[in-house]
Amino acid sequence: MCAVQPPTGCTIEHTCEYTDAHRQISALALENCWATTALKVIHRVKTALAHPENTPGDALSGQKRQGRILRSMTAIERPRRLRRTPALRRLVAETTLQPRQLVLPMFVADGIDDPRAISSMPGVYQHTLDSLRKAAVEAATAGVGGLMLFGVPLPEDKDAIGSQASDPDGILNRGLRAIAEEVGDATVIMADTCLDEFTDHGHCGVVAADGTVDNDATLHRYVEMALAQADAGAAMLGTSGMMDGQVGAIRRGLDAVGHTDTAILAYAAKYASAFYGPFREAVGSSLVGDRRTYQQDPANRRESLRELELDLAEGADIVMVKPAMSYLDILRDVADRSTVPVAAYQISGEYAMITAAAERGWIDRRAAIEESLLGIRRAGADIVLTYWATEAAHWLS
Ligand SMILES: [Zn+2]
């Protein structure tokens, strides 16, 4: 009888490979029960030592047999070897997280004297022009790669076509001028090029008489908005409205007046997500209903590749996937195919979920934030828009 016992938890009657009686069925038993190669090898070695007389290769000399056993032992794959110390783990880390890869979304609001807290996004504020300047300097000093600015106009300044969006004195354009003056080219100044903050109905485009969002009429407004933002100092425009042809229309509009160096960060794949909830509070959205006639259906994957191809053909300089964490497969698809840098937006609901869980002590806040950002990078994002950009940049530098 073989003295070698099977691993704990094995429910199949133990058979020894090297006793004549069980030679035939032991391989099958091992296959069914001891799932890993490592266990099989350990078993084989132990058994060979227990039954040297039955070990295949009986004819070999003791020394050769010893060599064979050692070879089988060294054949065990041990990935843990590279995880043993922090230095080893750092040496072999496949994905990096650096301040330059992070972009901070910011909100600037009209008509407020002090920064206004956003209740569903603790730690995020609607800025005054003054506090915006300070926060922009802090982010740039921390090495954050870019700032994406959203405007929050006074409710009474909203109208059907979002006039404030293209008004040089609209809050977003004033905010852009303020941070351009403050940080210059120390970081990349980006503007949200969409109408939803500025329309009284809250949609991202112009609404037609029948209540639908009018794609082509909206493109004209996007171009007007883009020109005002480029004039105000935005180096890059975030086309987030999901209108067909928006990248091409804006590119042509910019080029026609000499803004050939203003880049376009195209929201290539943007899904109609429940996780935007807190953002609606952040920008004081007036939206009733949803955006499912222009943002993508969360059920679709292939459609994002079509959107990607169109945006690349229309002249996108960077393409983005939004949201991030529920769409990491899309991000990977886009990263595998894109010929330009890829960004992902870790959105308000993602921020809110981690923040809320951490506040309750359910997760380790910093570890969860870092893991979430690393996961988005690993899935294929060169650039991550995150409300933690400045804080994470401090940790990382
Ligand atoms: Zn929008």
- 3-class DSSP string for 305-356: HHHHHHHHHHCCCEEEEECCHHHHHHHHHHHHHCCCCEEEECCHHHHHHHHH
What are the distances in angstroms from CA 262 to CA 212, 250, 266? 31, 10, 13
Quick: pLDDT tens for 374-396. Answer: 999 999 999 999 999 999 999 99
Going from the Cα of 136 to the center of ligand 1, the distance in angstroms, rounded, reads 23
Total domain count for the chain?
2
Going from the Cα of 198 to the center of ligand 1, the distance in angstroms, rounded, reads 9
Going from the Cα of 272 to the center of ligand 1, the distance in angstroms, rounded, reads 11
Quick: pLDDT tens for 286-315. Answer: 888 889 999 999 999 999 999 999 999 999
Q: What is the mean pLDDT of the chain?
A: 89
Q: Which of 40, 46, 64, 322 is catalytic?
A: 322
Q: Which backbone phi and psi does 281 adopt, to 5 degrees?
A: -70, -40
Q: Which of 40, 64, 134, 270 is catalytic?
A: 270
Q: How many CA atoms lie within 13 A of 350 on its CB side?
A: 25
Domain end: 55, 85, 115, which one? 85
Query: Is the pLDDT score of 154 beyond 70?
Result: yes
Quick: pLDDT tens for 97-122. Answer: 999 999 999 999 999 999 999 999 99
Residue 40 annotated among the catalytic residues of the structure: no
Quick: pLDDT tens for 22-80. Answer: 444 454 444 544 444 445 545 555 655 566 555 544 455 677 777 776 666 667 999 99
More confident of the two residues 361 and 24: 361
Q: Indicate the pLDDT class of residue 8, thresholds 50, 70 and 90.
A: low
Going from the Cα of 237 to the center of ligand 1, the distance in angstroms, rounded, reads 13
Domain co-membership, 125 together with 81: no
Find the CATH number of the domain harbouring 202. Answer: 3.20.20.70
- Across residues 166-188, what is the average pLDDT? 98
User: CA-CA distance, 317 to 146, in Å (whole number)?
Assistant: 15
User: CA-CA distance, 199 to 157, in Å (whole number)?
Assistant: 9
- Across residues 324-336, what is the average pLDDT? 98
Domain end: 57, 85, 113, which one? 85
Domain co-membership, 119 together with 241: yes
pTM score: 0.82
Segments forming the whole domain that contains residue 39: 20-85
326 forms bridges with which residues in the sheet?
A: none
Domain co-membership, 217 together with 362: yes
Please answer whether residues 351 and 124 qualify as being in contact, where contact means their C-beta atoms are separated by less than 8 angstroms. yes
Going from the Cα of 192 to the center of ligand 1, the distance in angstroms, rounded, reads 8
User: CA-CA distance, 360 to 347, in Å (whole number)?
Assistant: 21
Query: Is the pLDDT score of 332 beyond 70?
Result: yes
User: CA-CA distance, 261 to 254, in Å (whole number)?
Assistant: 9
Query: Is the pLDDT score of 211 beyond 50?
Result: yes
Quick: pLDDT tens for 249-273. Answer: 999 999 999 999 999 999 999 999 9
Residue 46 annotated among the catalytic residues of the structure: no
Please answer whether residues 334 and 268 qualify as being in contact, where contact means their C-beta atoms are separated by less than 8 angstroms. yes
271 forms bridges with which residues in the sheet?
A: 296
Best CA proximity match to 82, nearest among 93, 97, 96, 71: 93
Going from the Cα of 209 to the center of ligand 1, the distance in angstroms, rounded, reads 20
Domain co-membership, 171 together with 70: no
Domain co-membership, 112 together with 77: no
Going from the Cα of 195 to the center of ligand 1, the distance in angstroms, rounded, reads 6
Domain co-membership, 110 together with 251: yes
In a domain, 7, yes or no: no
Domain co-membership, 58 together with 174: no
Domain co-membership, 244 together with 356: yes
In a domain, 4, yes or no: no
Domain co-membership, 261 together with 167: yes
Domain co-membership, 382 together with 349: yes
Domain co-membership, 29 together with 115: no
